[in-house]
Structure 1
Amino acid sequence: MPYLKLKDGVDLYYKDWNTTGSPTVTFSHGWPLNSDNFEAQMFFLASQGCRVVAHDRRGHGRSSQPWDGNDMDTYADDLHQLFEHLDLEDVMMVGHSTGGGEVARFCGRHGTSRVKKAVLISAVTPLMVQTANNPTGTPLSVFDSFREAMVKDRAQFFIDVPSGPFFGFNREGAEVSQGPIWSWWQQGMMCGFKSAYDCIKAFSETDLTGDLKRMNIPVMLLHGDDDQVVPIGPSAQAAVTIVPNGILKTYPGGPHALPNICSDEVNEDLLAFLKE
C-alpha cells in the first residue's frame, strides 16, 4: 500500500489508480471516513480513462494517528505535500462534507496553480456553526453533543449516525440498507479517537469564506435539499454566492451521503463537469 511520509513524520495513505490516465481527479473524504467512501466515483472515473487519487486524511483510515494537527490548515498542507509528491497538475478536486472544506482551504492556502476545477459535495463551506455573523448556522450545542456521544460510547454513536441522518435512513419510506451502515461504522472506527474528536471542531468551526473567495476556478456544488447533517441553506446556497465562478445543482430529497445514495447521478455529474 502506498504511503507518503509527511514533513512531521505522519504516514499518509493514498490510492493512485490508473496512473497513466488523464485528466487527474482527487478526492477528499468526509468525517470520520476514509478514501474507501469514494470508491464508486473513483472506479467510475478511472474506467473512463481518468487518473484518480484519494488519501486517508491524517488520523483517519490507514494513515497515522497523530495527537496534533487535526485541523483544516494541516489537512490542506498534507494534501499539498501529496500533490507535490505525485507532481499532480491540472487537477479536478472533489471533496465531500469535511473534504469539501479541505478542498476550499487547499485552494485558499496554496492557490490554484495545480487545480483547474473543484467540486464541493454536501460541503461544510462556508461555516457550519451558528455565530452572530452566521445566524442560520447549526448551534454549537449540536457539535458538543457529538463530542459527548463519542466520549460516552463511540461505537454506538457511529452506528446511530449512519442508521439515521447521514444516509437519510430515518426518513419515512426510506429503503434502508445495512451494507452502507456497516461500511460507515467500519471506516469510522478505523479513525483515531483523538483525530475524530478534534475533527468535529475543524469541520464545524472553521470559517472558509475567505478560501471560497480565492477559488478562482470553476466550482460545482452538489447538495441534497434534505441534507440533515449540513443543511443546504447556510452551506451550498450561501457558498455559491461567494465563489467567483460557481454553479449549484440541488438533488431533490437528497441526503448528506450523495456519493453513496445517489452515486450514479453524482458520477455522471462529475464526468460532465470534467468534460466541460
Structure 2
Amino acid sequence: MPYLTLKDGLNLFYKDWGNATGQPVVFSHGWPLNADAWENQMFFLGDRGYRVIAHDRRGHGRSDQSWARNDINTWADDLHELMAHLNIKDATLVGHSTGGGEITRYTGRHGTSWVKKLVLISSITPLMLQTPVSPHGVPMSVFDSQRAAMREDRSAFFYEVPKGPFFGFNRPNATVSEGLIQNWFNQGMQASFKSTYDTIRSWETDFRQELKDLNIPVLVIHGDDDQVVPFAAGGNETIKLLKKGKMRVYHGGPHGLPSIEVDRINTDLLQFLEER
C-alpha cells in the first residue's frame, strides 16, 4: 500500500487510482472517516479516464496516529506535501464536510497555482459554529456534547451518528442501510480517539476570507435536510462568498450525500469536471 512519509515523520496513506496520465481529482474525506468513503466516486471517475487520489487524514484509517497537530492548518499542509509528492497539477479538489474545510484552507495557505477547481459537498464552510455572523450555525453546546459523548463511550456515539443524522436514517420513511451504518462505524473506530476528538475543534474555523479570495470555479453541493452542517449555515452562505460559485441543492438530502446520493453526486461531479 502506498504511503508518504511527511516532513514531521508521520506516514500518510493514500490511494492513487485510474489513469495515471488523466486529469487529477483529489478527494478529502469527512469526519471520522477515511479514503474508503470516496470509493463510489473514485471508481466512477477512474473508470472514465480520470486520475483519482484520496488519502487517510493523519490519525485516520491507515495513516499514522498523531497525538498533536490534529488541526486544519496541518491537514492542509499534509495535502500540499502529498500533491507535491505525486506531482499533481491542475487538480480538482473535492471535499466532504471537514474535508471541505481542509481543501478551502489549502487554497488559503498554498494558493491555487496547482488547483483548477474546487467541489465542496456538505462542507463546514464558511463558519459552522453559531456566532453573531453565523446565526444559523451549530451552537458550541452541541460540539461540547459531542466531545462529552466521545469521552463517555466513543463506540456508542460512533454507532448513533450514522444510525441517525449523518445519513438521515432517523427521518420517517428513510431506507436504512445497515451496511452503510457498519461501514461508517468501522472507519470511525479505525481512527484514533485523539485525532477524532481534536477534529471537533476544526468545526469552529472561519473560512469566509478564503472563500472570498478564491478566483477559480467552485461547485457547492449541500442537502437542505443536512442535520450535521445546516444548509442555512453551510452551502447557503458559502455560495454567497464565491466569485465563481455554482450551487446544487439536494432537496431532502442528508449530510452523507456521497453515499446516499451516489449517482447524482457522480453525475454532478463529472459534469463540473467536463466544463471548460
* Both proteins in one fold, TM over 0.5: yes
RMSD over aligned CA atoms reads: 0.7
Contact persistence 1:109–1:211 (CA under 8 A): no
Contact persistence 1:31–1:196 (CA under 8 A): yes
Contact persistence 1:28–1:100 (CA under 8 A): yes
Offset of residue 132 of structure 1: 2.4
* 2:145 aligned partner: 145
* 2:236 aligned partner: 237
Contact persistence 2:70–2:195 (CA under 8 A): yes
Offset of residue 19 of structure 1: 4.5
Q: TM-score, normalised by structure 2?
A: 0.98
* 2:29 aligned partner: 29
* 2:53 aligned partner: 53
Offset of residue 152 of structure 1: 0.3
Structure 1 residues 137-176: aligned runs within 5 Å = 137-176=137-176
Residue type of the partner of 2:101?
A: G
Offset of residue 135 of structure 1: 2.0
* 1:252 aligned partner: 251
Give, in whole Å, the separation in 2 of the partners of 1:42 and 1:26. 9
* 1:218 aligned partner: 217
Unaligned runs of at least 5 residues, structure 2: none
Q: TM-score, normalised by structure 1?
A: 0.98
Instruction: Classify 1:19/1:82 alpha carbon distance in 2 versus 1 (closer, same or farther; 3 Å).
Output: farther
Give, in whole Å, the separation in 1 of the partners of 2:236 and 2:6. 35
Give, in whole Å, the separation in 1 of the partners of 2:20 and 2:204. 39
Contact persistence 2:136–2:230 (CA under 8 A): no
Give, in whole Å, the separation in 2 of the partners of 1:47 and 1:256. 26
Give, in whole Å, the separation in 1 of the partners of 2:194 and 2:233. 28
* 2:129 aligned partner: 129
Contact persistence 1:107–1:214 (CA under 8 A): no
Give, in whole Å, the separation in 1 of the partners of 2:112 and 2:197. 30
Offset of residue 214 of structure 1: 2.2
Alignment deviations for residues 32-91 of structure 1 (CA, whole Å, 9 cap, x no partner):
000000000000000000000000001111001111111110000000000100010010
Stretches (4+) displaced over 3 A: none
* 1:179 aligned partner: 179
Give, in whole Å, the separation in 2 of the partners of 1:39 and 1:213. 31
Offset of residue 92 of structure 1: 0.6
* 1:68 aligned partner: 68
Identity %: 58
